[in-house]
Amino acid sequence: MEPQRLLVWGHSAPRSYIRQIFCFPFVDGKSNDAYTHLRTSLRKIALQYPYLTEHLRLKDDHQANVVYYSPNVDTRTHRQSIPFETLDAMDSFPWTYHQLKREEFTPRAFYGDLFCPADAITHEGKPVPVLQLRAVHITGGLLLSIFLHHCIADGDCSRLVLEAIAAHTRGNRAAKLHTELKLNIPCPPTAALAQIRQAKSRSMDEIVNTCPGYAVLPAGNAAPRYMPRNREGKIFVIRLEKLKQLQKSLRDADSSNTAPSTHVANYFGYGVTYAIAVAPQAKLKTAHEFPEAEGLRNLASTISAAFKDIDEEFVSTRTAMLEACPDLKRVGVMIDAGPWDPHHYHYNTWRFFGADAEWDVPGFLSSKPDAIRRGQSDWTFGAASVMLARKEADGEAKGTIDRM
């Protein structure tokens, strides 16, 4: 099969993996049985969804950061395959599973190369797998890492992939994934669209500035410019009772009397854009100090209003902007145009991205993981991620904070 050019929205994605680590209690003598079962499940996934076996690489002419994807064929079996690496870390990993659980699966345990494989797409480097797995066996536990590249998928697509893998471990054929990698966004004619398409002869800055919230990243490696700071990661637990109380407070203030939405669209690909909500610092402070009162409701209404701006023209205009840019790797968002400082804090949520998937693997002592963590390559900027959680369970937020 000839290499296929990545779709335009995929080109605008972060060129890095979504790094999820599933922490299972494990019978230490069952590692070979577990690995055989997982490999069998991955072979079935590869046959059902061949695009998950592909590799990402840049165009060969070195003149543009255009990404292509092509099949990854196992040199031994001559079949398309999903890379799966196994590591025995019972003697080398600093924690036993019991110790990790006692420390509530501290984020510092998942920092570094062990949980962050190479994911940069460069002319000099090797092609990068769309999907790869790594199983790290520690005393009393198995840490199963699933790495899905952002150029191919966003958060909810990672849910679909891990639910498909988990289904095959239970002997069920996955039925929720699309049969091909496809995310086409139509561009109906609008005044804004015509303006952008006429802007193809302009500079990158002029093209990108037609869409608020986006910015041109620096040349070179086009990475955000983070200020070096002494930071660390912490896990904060949000009790289920408190979450329901806050939801009720927001619902009571909503004239439609509906709970906050957890809906996600049904597609496979990368389809992330940004709704920009601006709030004065005083409003943020009020929402923090009086979360059940008017402060939180005012902040929530500000965010909801920003989402209402996302309609067909909003998406079409940004699609046209991306199509007009000569170097999509340099298209970023304002928060990444940097430099970052202590006033910048970024929030994200993974809460509904697959924590309820059930696994059936030899040696696993539970069908669902005790915790799900994110592989962290550094602590470069202030950020908070709401981690994966079951529907009726306490929530967890991983925060990056300055060391005291």
Q: Which of 7-21, 132-146, 180-194 has the highest mean pLDDT?
A: 132-146
Please indicate whether residue 182 or residue 112 has the higher confidence score (pLDDT): 112
Separate counts of helices (H) and strands (E) for the chain:
10, 15
Q: Is residue 34 part of a domain?
A: yes
Q: Is residue 151 part of a domain?
A: yes
For the residues of 292-356, what is the DSSP string, one character each? TSHHHHHHHHHHHHHHTT-SHHHHHHHHHHHHH-S-GGGEEEGGGSS---TT--EEEE-TTSSTT
Q: Is residue 62 part of a domain?
A: yes
Q: What is the number of domains present in the chain?
A: 1
Q: Which of 180-194, 220-234, 355-369 has the highest mean pLDDT?
A: 355-369
pLDDT of residue 228: 47
**Rounded Cα gap, residues 241 and 262, in angstroms:** 18
Give the chain's mean pLDDT. Answer: 75
CA distances from 313 to 73, 155, 187, 266 (A): 41, 24, 8, 20
pLDDT of residue 345: 58
Q: Which residues, at least 6 apart from 300, have a Cβ–Cβ distance to it below 8 Å?
A: 250, 253, 260
Please indicate whether residue 362 or residue 103 has the higher confidence score (pLDDT): 362
Q: Is the pLDDT at 403 greater than 60, yes or no? A: no
∠159-351-101 over CA atoms, to 5°?
Answer: 100
User: What CATH code is carried by the domain that includes residue 102?
Assistant: 3.30.559.10
Q: Is residue 164 part of a domain?
A: yes
- Are 273 and 265 spatial neighbours (Cβ–Cβ below 8 Å)? no
pLDDT of residue 38: 97
Q: What are phi and psi of 137, to 5 degrees?
A: -90, 115
Q: What is the average per-residue pLDDT within 250-273? A: 63
Q: Is the pLDDT at 274 greater than 80, yes or no? A: no
Tell which residue, 241, 235, 236, 349, has the closest CA to residue 292: 241
Q: What is the average per-residue pLDDT within 208-225? A: 68
Q: Is the pLDDT at 195 greater than 70, yes or no? A: no
Q: Is residue 166 part of a domain?
A: yes
Q: What are phi and psi of 232, to 5 degrees?
A: -150, 165
Tell which residue, 45, 271, 255, has the closest CA to residue 152: 271
Half-sphere exposure of residue 386: CA atoms within 13 angstroms, side-chain side: 16
Q: Which residues, at least 6 apart from 95, have a Cβ–Cβ distance to it below 8 Å?
A: 103, 109, 138
Q: Is the pLDDT at 373 greater than 50, yes or no? A: yes
Share of the chain above pLDDT 90, in %: 21
pLDDT of residue 121: 79
The 8-class DSSP code of residue 259 comes to P
Coil, strand or helix at 289: helix
pLDDT of residue 133: 96
Question: What is the separation of C-alpha 156 from the centre of its chain, rounded to a whole number of angstroms?
Answer: 8
The 8-class DSSP code of residue 287 comes to H
219-236: burial string, b at 16+ Cβ within 10 Å, e else: eeebebebeebebebebe
Tens digits of residue pLDDT in 5-52: 777 788 777 788 888 899 999 999 999 999 999 999 999 998 888 888
Share of the chain above pLDDT 70, in %: 63
Q: Is residue 313 part of a domain?
A: no
Q: Is residue 296 part of a domain?
A: no
**Predicted confidence band at 263 (pLDDT cuts at 50, 70, 90)?**
very low
- Are 136 and 87 spatial neighbours (Cβ–Cβ below 8 Å)? yes
Domain range for residue 51? 4-185+352-380
For residue 5, list its beta bridge partners: 68
**Rounded Cα gap, residues 103 and 106, in angstroms:** 6
Please indicate whether residue 91 or residue 59 has the higher confidence score (pLDDT): 91
Whose tokens are 């002419």? That residue is 61
| Lowest mean pLDDT, pick from 35-49, 106-120, 314-328, 376-390 | 376-390
- The 10 Å Cβ neighbour count of residue 268 is 23
Q: Is residue 400 part of a domain?
A: no
